[in-house]
Structure 1
Amino acid sequence: MDEQEIAAYVAVNWLLLLAAKLAEMLGSYSTSVTPEDYLEFLRSVLQSVATDPRPQSLYPLLQNNLNKLDGKFAHILTAWANKTLTEVEIETAKFIAATIGNFSILIQEFPLGNIASNKEIAMAGYQAVATVFTQSNFPQDWAMTQNNLGNAYLYRIHGDRAENLEVAIAHYYKVLLVYTQSDFPQQWAGTQNNLAIAYSDRIRGDKAENLEVALIHYNNALLVLTQSDFPQDWAMTQNNLATAYLHRIRGNRAENLEAALSHYYKVLLVYTQSDFPQQWAATQNNLANAYSDRIRGDRAENLEVALIHYHQALLVRTQSDFPQDWATTQNNLAIAYRNRIRGDRAENLEKAITHYHNALLVRTQSDFPQDWAMTQNNLAIAYSDRIRGNRAENLEVAIAHYHQALLVLTQSDFPQDWAMTQNNLAAAYSDRIRGDRVENLEAAIAHYHQALLVYTQSDFPQDWAMTQNNLACVYYRRIGGDRAENLEVAIAHCNNALLVRTQSDFPQQWATTQNNLAAAYSNRIRGDRAENLEAAIVHDHNALLVCTPENYPIDCLQTSRSLANLAWDNHDFKLAIQSYELAIKSVEQSRNWVIDEERRQEILRESIYVYARIIQAYLNIGEIGKALEYTERFRCQRLVDLMASDVLNLGGEITPEVQDLLIDYEELHQRINALRFNSQTEATPVLTGSRRLPDGDELAAHQAEIQKLEEQKQQVWKQLRRYDPVLAGQIQVEHLNLDQMQELIPNDTTALLSFYTTVEDTHIFILLKDQSPQVYTCKGQGLETFQKWIGENWFIPYIGANSEWRENMVSFLQELAQRLQLKDLISQYLTGIEELIIVPYLWLHQMPFAALPIDGIETFYRKEENSKPLSLQERGLERGFLDPVKSKGNGETRGLVIGKKSQPKVTVTPTTYLGDLFRIRIVPSCQILYYCQQRPPIPNQPTMGIVEDATEDLLFTRYECETLAQSYGVSADKRLQGRKATVTEYKTLASQVQILHSSHHATSNPAQPLDSYLVLGDGSLTLSQLISPGWRMPNLSDVFACCCEVNFSLNKLTDDLLSLATGFLCAGARSVVSTQWSVEDLASALLAIFYYNFRQAGMSRSQALQQGQIKLRNLTGEEFARNYQGEMGQSLQQQYDQAITRRNHANVKGDVAECQKWQKLADKIQVQQQHLQSLAKEKQPFSHPYYWAGFVSQGLA
């Protein structure tokens, strides 16, 4: 029977063949399509395929009849085929079977209508064909049909997925009974490839074993499918092999991913963009997936490469041409942005959300339900992590998307995905802000129990253990029910988790659960309290066997902190110390890993009390020296971090040797972090989703490689330290021990006083040369009662620019001295001491220690008002900082303007100040002083450079600098006057001289200290510039910064003193004389002159400042008139004449603004001329601490 006869047979006998069974088959269906319609459609389909079995012939017919492509049509096809094929002759049956087979292939690939129904129709056709083409009669056709059936079950949507895959595998093995390697090598290879795909997706059996079998089958396929003979099939198999390695469980994970990348790159040798654009785009997508998971190399860089490959894929995968593939890549792009390290985290999450929404434009619930559901799940995760927007609202959106996903991901159809979504939904309810907290936690528990219906211990042991651990966390926090019973349940779930999470197989997960058990036992109500605490300690110790500061610093911090607190509560201070030491190492390691500088500070702020506790614990056991070491270890952490994120961007500003070492250091650092990233998960109470974690052997290999790289990094750092010790200290903290601190003390008459405030008290550590350290404790002077008191009564009035600060200065300093109990401190510990090196803490950095009265003024304590606690930073910012443009135009001070509404004369009673008894040096930290001391000596005949009145509006600076220039013989080229004092010239001068006198305006920015700056002739020199390697001044010995607020900063809880004075010390200066407030112009000029006179007389820096302050304080009006008024008056007159001349020139030119500027300056000069006369009439015009106490000596003596 030829084709025409078959077509005629079908046409004539169509209705007769089915008439008897038609009512029975379709009677139960309610449809708008009649049975006759289905029969006529089947006739048309078979006739079309018999005539022309090409897609372009059949597909228009199918497109016009989408409403008939359903399960009823599949049943009709089966019934008709079964009856017809048994009644016709064998040749006719063969032809009909071949026609049905061709139709099945075409309908299986048909992209329109209901895809699941299309696949069911194809399967019905293949099964009908198999009744004709048997293995015994038609082995090749039978094998081809078995292959087609295998493909149909492999990609089937309906039915149980696990069962479908088993059936597919069975059909593929049947194929191999005929398609042997020797007889049918190409078909054999194709079947090997199909088997590999099925085993890659297989649900039943051991997942790791399934993937190993898949790899075997792929490699079998490649025995035949070579690049030279079958380049396209070779490329396809290379792609599949790469995907198998991407998901492989056995073997080394890092090596598996490298193998995947290698095979994907092989694919691109054949699949080029020009020849095979679709396959090229698919491979770009797959490469991106592999780079997203890659372990080797820099993690951040791998994710950037992944993003590039995803975007490459989209060059071909457009929404119009390949909507499904476009949606897949959009979903993958979203995942990559969600995990991205570089760029702004908040912005990355917004991009992720955008790409997920893009994917949903194609992945609709009706057309692609499973993909739609998975994208809904992914969107929910992104909203759970979202930074922008309202946190409570984001969690509500996340919960809504999880519920959407569950509309498709049902327990019956997609059990694993359903369980994963239940787990994620539980996590969202656990974190939920809106709604009743009790109900939210109950919902979380319910969803975790739902997940356990699928995540059984036998089938999914890791996921089961994860969910057990998560349930323990929720029961630990549960509000409803009996608290004691909740804790028992939490303990039970933890113990369940440990049945799978063993130390050998899953060490990190084991440690997490051990930590959770410790938390539960430490709070347990039932049982003996002492035994519970012992159990908690044991479990914390267990967790720390895995969680070390080097490997898992975040987990280690949580566990060691918990153990330390338990030990503290038990008064076991030695165990507490051991545990707090681990916690501190973990804090410092965590900060070292983090790139973002603000996040580093956040980590430190979150862990302040750990340092406070270890200091107190050492004091409790009498180890004062160790307590002192930890106070120093805590200080100025930010200062040693400032270069970490951007030092490599400085390029030509540092030497090539240092640049190369920095690059090597950073590269090793990134490689270490990449390894750690893939074995590190932050310990969180609830995990979302499940993922494979490295086993014990993998972790050991990771740690060995990390250790090797760490050793290399330390060698690089040691070389870097030889070139630039300060820079080395800024990228890696080098903590000082007690012996090193004592080396900072030059002789037996010098004492180092280090202040530290805890919640309860303020400790003053006293360190002398070659003596054991001592501590003096000011009881009751804690953070709230003492440091906060300083902020509210000193800092806030000062930044308010009102008269209150100056009017209350004397009484405030008196009370401060009383609170610090200075008289007792001196009498007990400082007999015979002549010099103090003071290391302040928090607000004490801003205190004028030299002006603290020891006796002579009535002592009192002011009663604290019962007012609401104030946030110092918020108060300061609300009151506001003065506009720098306004402040630098003031002629009376050299920076911030002090208000002048009401300034009655304050009478200062004669007294003895701390500065009378001791020479005083102030240092931000011992580390900074250590840098100064390690610098090489300066030649005996130093050269001075002067930077003078860069804005030409400081009236007494000219007199000051002219006097110094004459005393030191400063040449004109070493004296930058007025607008000639540019930033470039300043840098040049600072590199040429050993003594730099900088007398001009400066502006501090307490809220953003790195933006504090010196005001120069053409702009500003910021602190961030000053501490960079490009501003190193190795030959600079002394800096006298006779400007306002050079040592002024907002001290947060992290005790970071980031001031311009500190910047000079880091830049290379051995000593800096600086200011702590907006100093008065005339008094500053006199003090600078006095200081240098005493220096020329042979005094040390601290002694010269001490004697200069005493001289200024005691200067009488008569002495002022006799020795200084005349020359100052002449200087003012010269400036007045110049101002009038310039005003007149501007007037001639018609420049109104310039004319007003010089007239304003002339008016100011006249006011100061009158002021000189009034000073001469006062008894001691500069006796108030405001005039002399704001100057401090920092660095070397």
Structure 2
Amino acid sequence: MIMRVWLRNMAQWLAQGVNRLEYKLFLLELLQAERIQSNSDTTVVYPILQRRQHLLDDTFAQQLQQWSRNKFSQGKTEEVADLAEVIQNLCIDIQQFPLGSRANNLEIAITGYHTLLEVYTREAFPKDWARSQNNLGNAYRDRIRGERADNLELAITALNLSLEVYTREGFPYEWAGSQNNLGNACLYRIRGGRADNLDSAITAYNLSLEVYTREDFPYEWARTQNNLGNAYRDRIRGERADNLELAIAAYNLSLEVLTRKAFPYEWARSQNNLGNACLYRIRGGRADNLELAIAAYNQSLEVLTRKAFPEQWATTQNNLGTAYSDRIRGERADNLELAIAAYNQSLEVLTRKAFPEDWARSQTNLGNAYSDRIRGERADNLELAIAALNLSLEVYTRDAFPEDWARSQNNLGGAYQTRIRGERADNLELAIAALNQSLEVLTRKAFPEQWATTQNNLGNAYRDRIRGQRAENLELAISAFNQSLEVYTRDAFSEQWARSQNNLGTAYGNRILGERAENLELAITALNLSLEVYTREAFPKDWARSQNNLGNAYRNRILGERADNLKLAIAAYNLSLEVYTQTAFPIECFLTGRNLGNTANLIEDWETAIKGYNLAIEAVENIRLEALNPQRQQEILSDAMDVYHGIVQSYLNLNQPDRALEYVERSKTRYLVQLLTDRDIYPKGNIPQTIINELDRLRRAIIGEEQKLAIQEQTRNRGIILTPDQQKQPILNDYTRLNHLKQELNQLIDREITTIDPTFSLTQKVQTIPLSEIQSLIDQQTVILEWYIAGDSIMAFIVTNEGLIPPNPPSKGGNSEVKGVKVWQSSAEDREKLINFIKNYRDAYENNKTEWIKNLNSCLNQLSEILHIDELLELIPKSCSRLILIPHWFLHIIPLHCLPLNNGQFLYQRFTKGVGYVPSCQLLKLVKLSQRENFTRLFAIKNPTRKDLKTLLGANLEIERISQGFATEKTIIIGELEASEQTLENRRQELQASHCIHFSCHGKFNNESPRDSALMLADPDGNLGELANLTLAEVFEKFDLRECRLVTFSACESGIIESKADSISDEYVGLPSGFLFAGSSSVVSTLWTVDPLATTLFMTKFYHDLKRISIRDEGSIAIVLNHTQTWLRTLNSKKLARIKNSQKFQQLLDRVFESKRDRRKFQDLLEAAVKREPYPFANPYYWTAFIATGV
């Protein structure tokens, strides 16, 4: 043991010895090279440093110090001085070396200068001492390790010490150099007043220029002019516009000497600095200035390449990103993508470890770009912004970088103000807190311009604030805007002045205190003032924003003629929309288009209203497509549903119900329609089947991952009270797997498909479905009844294949007609009754099931009256014998086909060829394209074994009877223990080949997270829990049922569709949607927790009759289902008793029930039903729950 330890220690000692030898040889090689090369010539040393840059670390610094001290102690004075000169030059070269670790290089230089100062005493070597102090000051100025503020103080101290020897009289050249360097340190100084520091820098540079004249020292003069430009660019005192012009003049002077040919590196740095000045320039056209900045940065990058000058390349990329963020010309969305790309590139070099301050700056800028980003999901972009800004604050602490900390707090406040995720009220409080923190540092005295910016942002947050008194918040907003305007004068800061005027106008437009009429006049005045600066040519986006806000003020104006004000509002909105296009500014286009539509409605200018609403719809559909998960797509559409209502009503007002119906359809089932449209897009040409299979697998995997992200989005933090710290954290979805799958899919297409079919695309735009196409989906005996619940009425669109429908009888809400379509519209009162009805219906179902069952019949009667079913039937030609129902919103959860009529019948009885359902006409079209004709292969899931659920008593009987209609060799029954999701996966091929799939199992609808709605498969030990369930999300990902004619759910709540009050986009999210997407052309499902006996009887009868008709015929499923409902409803006690007591039935029970206990329980159910005379299943609860969806 002792020997092993000794050997290990010896090995480490020898290794260290070898290591020290390597460093020593490297140092000696460098010193020899320094002796060879002349001053300012790095051609000998730099290749050595580049080749062995891995040795430039703390160990090298120690070796340099130890070796130097040793040599200094042994040599003669002349030899020591000569060696010290060589070491000084080596330290300078390492300090300026552009490769390797910048932090390490600076530490080596600092160590070297301190070592030299042990030899170069002020008394013995005053000039060399001063030179080392000057170099030490430069190194501390750029130092990365340690506190930035401390390093800059050390730099200033060292430089002032050098100036005690380097006097103007004794050493004019060196004095000028140290003055220039002192200016650089003051330029970046953190301690002391920022304005004082910048003026000290300018003083130092101007002193330097008294010696560094262009005639005597052109290079040094040019370098100092460049530095002077930096100081004027950031200067606080004086007029901002004047300072920036002085900066630009200084940069241009420096570039007269620092040409690309003579001084490529310095030329590139000056171009970068010139770009910075143009970026913030006030005079001249803003758009022109930004183009000049971009041009300057791009020129700089021609020299400052990543390979040659990685740090400077990264810094310029950061600056270029800022210019693209602010750019006016070109597409705004494109510019922001270029900005984000540039920031991300800069962060590849400016890592937190190597360049923490620069890393934090790039993170701040990246956060700002994500805040403004147009492409991608808006909610995600804002979370990415918050994440980046919070990262910057890990470096930008208040103590170390107070100004940068305050600026990041200001930016963070802006991101929280517009944040979508989290509670809106919480986010606004976080915004106000961040902005107030910012103002603790960015005081009016020290940072007037930034103080004014933060006051402006604080005003925006108070204007939108939810907590506190609304009137008081608006007063605080107005006060903040007015304070910002005390600094932002029109002459000094015209652009910022205009921004604050715009914001002040919006605050006055909403003001509660004071006279409303006077406030609106103040709003109009402020907005018109903003437009004097915000011209379309110079500031198109800001001009459009002010025009939109001006439109709002005119729309609400009290003084003047109402009609004239509304015309002025419409004119302003139209001007705004010339810039706010659906592609360039989709969010703003949506909001302004909505404003235009609503305002035109007030004067009954329906054409203009349609224009506004249509632009808003086009924009919101673009926004929706950027969302990466279907839940966000659904939320985006729900938030915009009022514009669909508006355009539908406007077309009806113009007596164009056909166009109104197009927009009704456009608002429904968008996600599912897109999925079905894209599902059957395949490449042309001779593509191997293995490639097609992989294409399908990846597409389904992507859809499955989207569903999982949707569940995550919908269920995140539900019911959880977040702490203040938790509220601050970014809420980011993990798109890693989704992005990986998409990348894999794109690679497959590029590798295997594009060469054969270069035109292949994964998706295509879903076109609106016109009336003529809808009519082509049905024959002359079929009618479509499509409901639409608008903002103030219930609408019913009746579509036939006929020409003109007979004129309407008088109705409560008015009517419209055109060939083949008729519209009935309710009163607002009826809509209110419907909302209340649904609320009471749901409350009873969820909280008092017994009472709900008891009152179901009267509920359906009440709904029939609210929907005026008998009145609607009068609009349908008597020749129509088949009805297709398209519910809307919460009507999806009601058995509309069973609504009672005044004549004592039910709605379905009026139509001999059946009443079925489809989610939308678009879905009807797509399902018809995949209609199946075969019906010979059965795949059945029977009574999965569950520890947590009761056995379904009738499931075995049900499956036994159903299977009798199919040939034994074409029947697969998976039962009890085997009825698991893993079995379905193992028998996927048989499942895919099936024509009829029947689930006899428990089911549940998850109202909080509909995509988690599931069929409950086998989990005998209870170990799997939720993992045992076949969820809707998994159906989308895993099932391919393109041979399937019918999927039947003999399961509870299997047909319920998401229909919450806040989900009005009608996206049709529920188990039927998954199986329709999987390929089945029909789905039979249930709308509530069904009675087990009634379900068993219903399913056996349904399948018995189904085998006796032609399954190929459209509507055949619905016909049989309706007949079965009549049979069950009218089944009397005597007939049920005969069935129960028959020998054949009893033998059947003996065969299907293995447990005598379960057999007895089933018999008890039958006996109880027989006693409910005269019709055991007359209550709608037993027979109305079953619906047929599809064709």
Q: TM-score, normalised by structure 2?
A: 0.69
For the Cα contact (< 8 Å) 2:134–2:178, is it kept in 1?
no
Shift of 1:956: 2.5
Q: Post-superposition shift, 1:847?
A: 1.9
Tell whether the 8 Å contact from 2:490 to 2:497 is kept in structure 1 after alignment.
yes
CA–CA distance in structure 2, aligned partners of residues 162 and 817 of structure 1: 79
Structure 1 residue 1046 corresponds to structure 2 residue 1046: no
Displacement of 1:834 after TM fit? 0.7
| Secondary structure, counterpart of 2:1088 in structure 1 | coil
Shift in Å, 1:1125? 4.6
**One-letter code aligned to 1:1046:** S
Task: For residue 769 of structure 1, report the CA deviation from its aligned partner.
Answer: 0.5
The answer for the alignment partner of 2:1008 in structure 1 is: 1007
CA–CA separation in structure 2 for the residues paired with 1:1001 and 1:988: 24
Q: Is the 8 A contact 1:100 1:129 kept in 2?
A: yes
**From 911, 914, 919, the counterpart of 2:908:** 914
* Counterpart for residue 612 of structure 1: 645
Greater CA drift, 538-547 or 819-828:
819-828
Question: 2:833 is matched with which residue?
Answer: 785
Secondary structure class of the residue paired with 2:491 = coil
Secondary structure of the 1:452 match is helix
Residue correspondence of structure 1 range 901-940 to structure 2 within 5 A: 911=905, 914-915=908-909, 917-918=911-912, 919-935=914-930, 938-939=933-934
Paired residue for 1:603, among 596, 620, 636?
A: 636
Give the structure 2 partner of residue 969 of structure 1: 967
Residue 755 of structure 1: how far off its partner (Å): 0.9
Q: Which moved more, 1:1168-1177 or 1:559-568?
A: 1168-1177
Aligned with 1:836: secondary structure? Answer: strand
**Counterparts in 2 of 1:445 and 1:162: CA distance versus 1, 3 Å:** farther
Corresponding residue for residue 467 of structure 1: 500
Q: Is the 8 A contact 2:366 2:385 kept in 1?
A: no
Gaps of 5+ in 2: 1-79, 89-121, 142-148, 282-287, 326-332, 371-375, 682-688, 705-748, 804-818, 1020-1027, 1111-1115
Matches within 5 A, 1:61-100: none
What is the aligned counterpart of 1:813 among 852, 860, 864?
Answer: 860
Task: Give yes or no for contact 1:999–1:1041 (8 Å, CA) kept in 2.
Answer: yes
SS, match of residue 741 in structure 1: helix
Change (3 A) 1:96 1:854: closer
What residue is the counterpart of 2:477 in the other structure? 444
Deviation at 1:173, TM superposition (A): 6.2
Who is 2:937 aligned against?
A: 943
Give the alignment partner of residue 578 of structure 2, picking from 538, 545, 553: 545
1:1191 to 2:1186 alignment: yes
Contact 1:854 1:914 in 2 (8 A): no
Structure 1 position 1130 matched with structure 2 position 1131: no
Q: Quick check: 1:983–1:1020 contact (8 Å CA) kept in 2?
A: no
* Structure 2 SS opposite 1:971: helix
Q: Which amino acid aligns with 1:450?
A: Q
For structure 1, which segment, 467-476 or 200-209, has the greater mean C-alpha deviation from structure 2 after superposition? Answer: 200-209
* Structural mapping, 1:198-237, within 5 Å: 201=234, 203-205=240-242, 207=244, 214=251, 217=254, 221=258, 223=260
1:1116 aligns with 2:1125: no
- CA deviations 1:656-695 (Å, max 9, x no partner) are 45689999999xxxxxxxxxxxxxxxxxxxxxxxxxxxxx
* Cα distance in structure 1, aligned partners of 2:911 and 2:961: 30
1:424-452 deviation line (CA, Å, top 9, x unaligned): 33334434556654444334333323323
- Amino acid of the structure 1 residue aligned with 2:510: R
CA–CA distance in structure 1, aligned partners of residues 537 and 267 of structure 2: 40
Cα drift, residue 258 of structure 1? 8.2
**Count of aligned pairs between the two proteins:** 948
Greater shift, 542-551 or 388-397, is seen at 388-397
2:577 and 2:592 in contact (8 A); partners too? yes
- Structure 2 distance, partners of 1:1105, 1:254, is 71
Q: What residue is the counterpart of 1:1102 in the other structure?
A: 1118
Aligned mate of 1:1165, from 1159, 1163, 1166: 1159
2:626 alignment partner, one of 574, 578, 593: 593
Question: Structure 1 pair 945/192, CA: closer, same or farther in 2 (3 Å)?
Answer: same
Other-structure match for 2:984: 983
2:1004 equivalent to 1:993: no
- Paired residue for 1:1079, among 1076, 1082, 1090? 1090
Q: CA distance change for structure 1 residues 113 and 778 in 2, over 3 Å: closer, same or farther?
A: closer
CA RMSD of aligned residues (A): 5.0
- C-alpha offsets along residues 881-915 of structure 1, whole Å, 9 cap, x if unaligned? xxxxxxxxxxxxxxxxxxxxxxxxxxxxxx55533
**Post-superposition offset of 1:291:** 6.2
Other-structure match for 1:269: 308
Instruction: State the shift of 1:1024 in Å.
Output: 1.2
Hey, what does 1:680 align to over in structure 2? none
**CA shift for structure 1 position 542:** 0.9
**2:587 match: secondary structure:** helix
Larger displacement relative to structure 2 (1115-1124 or 196-205): 196-205
Q: Note if 1:749 corresponds to 2:743.
A: no
8 A contact 2:1016–2:1029 mirrored in 1: yes
Q: What does residue 1020 of structure 1 align with?
A: 1029
CA contact (8 A) 1:767 1:774 kept: yes
Shift of 1:789: 0.6
Unaligned runs of 5+ in 1: 1-50, 58-91, 272-279, 318-324, 667-711, 858-910, 1140-1161
CA distance in 1, matches of 2:404, 2:1075: 60
What is aligned with 2:542? 509
Worse-matched range after superposition: 976-985 or 1033-1042: 976-985
What is the CA distance between 1:579 and its match in structure 2?
1.7
Write the letter of the residue equivalent to 1:845.
Answer: H
Structure 1 residue 933 displacement after superposition: 0.9
Q: Distance in 1 between matches of 2:1070 and 2:758?
A: 24
Q: Displacement of 1:920 after TM fit?
A: 0.3
**Pick aligned residue for 2:451 from 418, 428, 435:** 418
Partner of 1:822: 869
Q: Which moves more between the two structures, 142-151 or 784-793?
A: 142-151
Deviation of 1:643 (Å): 10
- Decide whether the 8 Å contact of 1:422 with 1:448 is kept in 2: yes
C-alpha distance in 1 between matches for 2:782 and 2:583? 39
Match of 2:1069 in 1: 1058
**Counterpart-to-counterpart distance in 2, 1:512 and 1:603:** 22
Residue 633 of structure 2 aligns to a residue whose secondary structure is helix
Deviations 1:105-126 (A, max 9, x none): 8778777879689859968996
1:346 Cα deviation after fit: 8.8
Q: CA deviation at 1:1011?
A: 0.9
Task: State the SS of the aligned residue for 2:486.
Answer: coil
Between 912-921 and 528-537, the greater mean CA deviation after superposition: 912-921
Distance 1:349 1:1186, change over 3 A: same
- CA separation in 2, counterparts of 1:357 and 1:737? 54
Q: CA deviation at 1:751?
A: 0.5
Counterpart for residue 491 of structure 1: 524
CA gap of 1:801–1:107, structure 2 versus 1, over 3 A, is: same
Alpha-carbon distance in 1 for matches of 2:430, 2:1166: 71
Q: Take 1:1131 and 1:1047, find their aligned partners in 2: how far apart are those partners? A: 30
In structure 1, C-alpha distance between the alignment counterparts of 2:700 and 2:1003, rounded to whole Å: 33
Q: Which residue of 2 aligns with 1:259?
A: 298
Alignment correspondent of 2:882: 835
Instruction: State the Cα deviation string for residues 327-372 of structure 1 (Å, max 9, x = none).
Output: 56446546646766899789767756754654465x52xx765445
Matched, 1:1090 2:1105: no
C-alpha separation between the residues in 2 aligned to 1:221 and 1:665?
A: 57
- Contact 1:243–1:260, Cα closer than 8 Å, also in 2: no
**Do the aligned residues in 2 keep the contact of 1:334 with 1:352 (CA within 8 Å)?**
yes
CA distance in 1, matches of 2:162, 2:1065: 74
Per-residue deviation, 1:1190: 1.7
Identify which range, 286-295 or 480-489, moves more after superposition.
286-295
Q: Does 1:800 align with 2:795?
A: no
Closer, same or farther: CA 1001–549 of 1 in aligned 2, 3 Å: same
Give the partner amino acid of 1:976: I
Matched, 1:633 2:649: no
Evaluate the alpha carbon distance shift between residue 506 and residue 390 of structure 1 in structure 2; reply closer, same or farther with a 3 A threshold.
closer
Q: Which residue of structure 2 lines up, in the alignment, with residue 35 of structure 1?
A: none
Contact 1:1048–1:1075 (CA<8 Å) still a contact in 2?
Answer: yes
Alignment map for 1:546-695 (pairs within 5 Å): 546-640=579-673, 655-657=693-695
Letter of the structure 2 residue corresponding to residue 1131 of structure 1 = L
How many angstroms apart in 2 are the aligned matches of 1:1035 and 1:212? 76
